[in-house]
Amino acid sequence: MSSVRTLPPLAGYALALGDDALILAQRLGQWVARAPQIEEDVALANIALDLLGQARTLLSYAGTVEGVGRDEDDLAYLRDDRDFRNVQLVEIPNGDFAVTMARQLVFSAYQYELYAALKGSADPTLAGLAGKAVKEVAYHRDHATQWVLRLGDGTDLSHARMQAGLDQVWPYIGELFESAGTTSQLPGVAVDPSALRPAWDSYVTEVLSEATCRTPEPRWRSRGGRDGLHTEHLGHLLAEMQHLHRSHPGATW
Amino acid sequence: MTAAPDRAALLAAARAVPDPELPVLTLGDLGVIRDLRVAGDGTVEVDLTPTYTGCPATAVIADDVQAALRRAGGYQIRVRVRTVLAPAWTTDWMSETGRRKLREYGIAPPGPAAHAGGPVTLAFSVRCPHCGSPDTREVSHFGSTPCKALWTCRSCAEPFDSFKAI
């Protein structure tokens, strides 16, 4: 099987965006039956389902562009962690509900700007997906925003935990806006991630300020997810996600 | 020898297929059948747009459309269902009949989508499909399927699903 490093740039780009969505969908699915309210079970499962739909489109497209016959299932279930191109933000454990909401705010605000820009891509598949997904992500972002406001501007305890959640995810945001090699090779097709930062900053800063939370200033930052360097947590997540498919190759029902 | 399939009859058959999740609505009411063409070799090609990218009903809908077209056009015809993402589906494509049927079924139909998709929380009131009162509130953005939100009525105290404007 060809290594991720030899992928055509367009396939690599679709794979990176698809892996972000796939891994976060898997993480959010872990909240089902454990969320603080039944409505949140339903909400997080719905958000995960939207992300999974986006991932399926992007992984299928990456396989088509690569052109060696890998489909969405091959890409999701038969790669090892070093071949995943997602940012580390989406693979870190869920933590408590505040950590998950902090990550949801950060990631959905990023994805909102990403898809809004990608709607104008010269690639019709990416543009078509983005035009659809941006409407779904608007709901994800609004959901996270409401929780950050409610917890941040709530009781002393909820405020402290919301702030702790933000502090925990902030070291991981840098990777979202890094220009990977593939994006510069795809002018007019890929979106330059660094160009999304100003709009993201202005949205998130306003939410944090209204939530009476401060913007964290982390002393370290994550690196390397887009190059296949991951935390120890991704391997465990993949073991659970891939186990059935690998134990019963080609099984259908 | 059979005659070439009739496009209008096939399109009507595809549009008459009930939605698997909301059987009161047809695919025509939902507006998800975007086009149907009969190719030179007789293959029937249908353009289907999903309501949400991850909606699990999409695969079932594609199977149901295949079956309905074979029933209408003969079991020998070849059918290809294409998933089309652009232009993105919007609840504005839902027919007036569809909206009425939803309301009668106990689901509040979607408002205009023009104000959706932005950062603004939905401000328009949703009328309770049970008692008609506008005094309702949203419990959660997300409901039993991707296309619905969970609401409750302050007048009659009944919970209800509301179709999200998207």
Residues of chain B with CATH 3.30.300.130: 7-83
Q: Hey, are the CB atoms on B54 and A127 less than 8 Å from each other? A: no
Beta pairing partners, B150: B140, B161
Tokens 């020898």: give the residue: B1
Q: Hey, are the CB atoms on A128 and B53 less than 8 Å from each other? A: no
Number of domains making up chain A: 1
Give DSSP secondary structure letters for A155-207.
-HHHHHHHHHHHHHHGGGGGGGG---HHHHTSTTTS--GGGGHHHHHHHHHHH
Q: CATH homologous superfamily for B7-83?
A: Fe-S cluster assembly (FSCA) (3.30.300.130)
- Quick one: which of B68, B26, B31 has its CA closest to B50? B31
Long-range contacts of B16-23 (CB under 8 A, 24+ apart): B16/B68, B17/B61, B17/B64, B17/B65, B17/B68, B18/B64, B19/B57, B19/B61, B20/B57, B20/B60, B20/B61, B20/B64, B21/B57, B21/B145, B22/B102, B22/B105, B22/B107, B22/B145
Interface test with A, best of B53, B151, B166 (most A CBs within 10 A): B53
User: Reading across the β-sheet that carries B136-140, which strands appear in turn?
Assistant: B107-108, B159-163, B148-153, B136-140
Q: Hey, are the CB atoms on A142 and B121 less than 8 Å from each other? A: yes
- Quick check: is A145 in a domain? yes
User: How distant is the Cα of B1 from the closest Cα of chain A, in angstroms?
Assistant: 37
Exposure class string for B116-128: b at 16+ Cβ within 10 A, else e: bbeeeebeeebbb
The DSSP bridge pattern shows strands B107-108 and B136-140 to be unpaired
Q: Please identify every stretch of chain B with a pLDDT value under 50, giving residue numbers as ranges.
A: 1, 115-117, 120-122
Query: Which pLDDT tens digit goes with each residue over B131-156?
Result: 999 999 999 989 888 889 999 999 99
The answer to whether A76 contacts chain B (CB < 8 Å) is no
- Quick check: is A252 in a domain? no
Q: Where does residue A124 rank: exposed (0-12), middle (13-18), buried (19+ CB within 10 A)?
A: exposed
The pLDDT > 70 percentage for chain B reads 91
Q: Please identify every stretch of chain A with a pLDDT value under 50, giving residue numbers as ranges.
A: 1-4
CATH of the domain at A192: 1.20.1260.10
Q: Hey, are the CB atoms on A46 and B146 less than 8 Å from each other? A: yes
Domain range for A162 is: 4-247
Residue pairs between chains A and B whose CB atoms are closer than 8 Å: 85
Q: Hey, are the CB atoms on A138 and B119 less than 8 Å from each other? A: yes
- Quick one: which of B141, B144, B131, B109 has its CA closest to B31? B109
- Quick one: which of A178, A195, A191 has its CA closest to A89? A178
Helix ranges (DSSP H) in B20-123: 27-30, 57-73, 96-105
User: How distant is the Cα of B62 from the closest Cα of chain A, in angstroms?
Assistant: 16
Q: Hey, are the CB atoms on A57 and B53 less than 8 Å from each other? A: yes
Chain centroid to CA A221: how far?
17
Beta pairing partners, B79: B44
- What is the Cα–Cα distance from B92 to B107, expressed in whole angstroms? 16
Q: Are A13 and A4 in contact (CB under 8 A)?
A: no
**Residue A237 burial (CB count, 10 A):** 21
pLDDT at res. B1: 44
SS3 category, A136: helix
Residue of B nearest to A138 (CA): B117
Half-sphere exposure of A241 (CA within 13 A, CB side): 27
SS3 category, B22: coil
The answer to whether A87 contacts chain B (CB < 8 Å) is no
Query: Which pLDDT tens digit goes with each residue over A74-133?
Result: 999 999 999 999 999 999 999 999 999 999 999 999 999 999 999 999 999 999 999 999
pLDDT at res. B30: 94
